[in-house]
Amino acid sequence: MTRISTIHKQFRAALVAFSALACILYASSPAGARPWKPKPQNLAQDYAQILDVRAQGEVVLLLWFVPEMAPESPAAGVLLDKYVVIGAVHSRPGPAGSMLFDTIDPLQITGADGKPLTFLDSDKLPADVSGFVAAMAATMKQSMGAMGQGMRIFVYDNGGVHACAKGGLSIPYNGEVYTYDTPFPGCSAN
C-alpha cells in the first residue's frame, strides 16, 4: 500500500509540475523565438506581455491592451488609446494539477511622470468600454485556458499615457514593480 501511495504522490507532483510548465510555456511562447518579419501588431503584442515566473511554479502575467494590437478595429483602437486597459493574473499550482489564482485588487498604476492613473470601477464605465472589457475577458478565458480564467481586467483613465507617445507605466504588484517604456515597438513612429 505504501508503494502505491508513493507512486500516486509522485504522479501528482509530476502532474502539478507539468501543468505549471505548460502554462508558462504557453504564456511565454511569443518571446521564446525570434519572429521572422514581424508585423507591427506582433511587436506590440510581444512587448505588451510581462511574464514573471517565480519560485514553486508561481506566475504573474500582465498584459497592456494597446491600439497597435488591434489594427483591424479602429473603434477598439480609439478605446484603447483613451483608456489604459490592463489584464493581470497571479497563479500558482494547486492540487491534482489544478491552478489557483490570487485575488488581485485594482492595481496602483503610475505614468512616467509619477502621477497615478485613475482606476475606473466597472459600474462607472461607459457602455462601449464595459462591452469591450466583457468581450476581452471572454476572449482571454477561451484563448488562454486556465490562465484566462484567472485574469482580471482593469480600466484606467489614461492620464496622458499613450502606447505610442514618449513615457511609460509603472505597475507595483506583490513586491515587484513592473514597467513599460513607451513608445511601444510596432508604433508607426518606430
Contact 105, 83 (CB under 8 A): no
Separate counts of helices (H) and strands (E) for the chain:
5, 8
pLDDT top residue among 97 and 153:
153
User: In this model, does residue 19 exceed pLDDT 50?
Assistant: no
Q: Is 42 helix (H, G, I), strand (E, B) or coil?
A: helix
User: Please, is 95 exposed, middle or buried when counting C-beta atoms within 10 Å of its C-beta (0-12, 13-18, 19+)?
Assistant: exposed
Mean pLDDT of all residues belonging to the chain:
83
- Which of 31-35, 87-91, 141-145 is predicted least confidently? 31-35
CA-based nearest residue to 86, from 125, 119, 52, 42: 119
Instruction: Output 11 or 79, whichever has higher pLDDT.
Output: 79
Q: For position 66, what pLDDT does the model report?
A: 93
Secondary element (H or E) of residue 178: strand 176-182
- 85: Cα separation from own chain's centroid: 10
**What is the distance between the alpha carbons of residues 44 and 46, in angstroms, rounded to a whole number?**
5
Q: What does the pLDDT look like over 79-97, one tens digit per residue?
A: 999 999 999 999 999 898 8
Q: What is the pLDDT of residue 179?
A: 97
| pLDDT score of 188 | 77
With a threshold of 0.85, does the pTM exceed it? Answer: no
Q: Is the pLDDT of residue 189 over 60?
A: no
72 pLDDT band (50/70/90 cuts)? Answer: confident
Least confident of 7-21, 120-134, 175-189: 7-21
| Structural domain spans, the chain | 2-182
When comparing pLDDT for 55 and 32, which is higher?
55
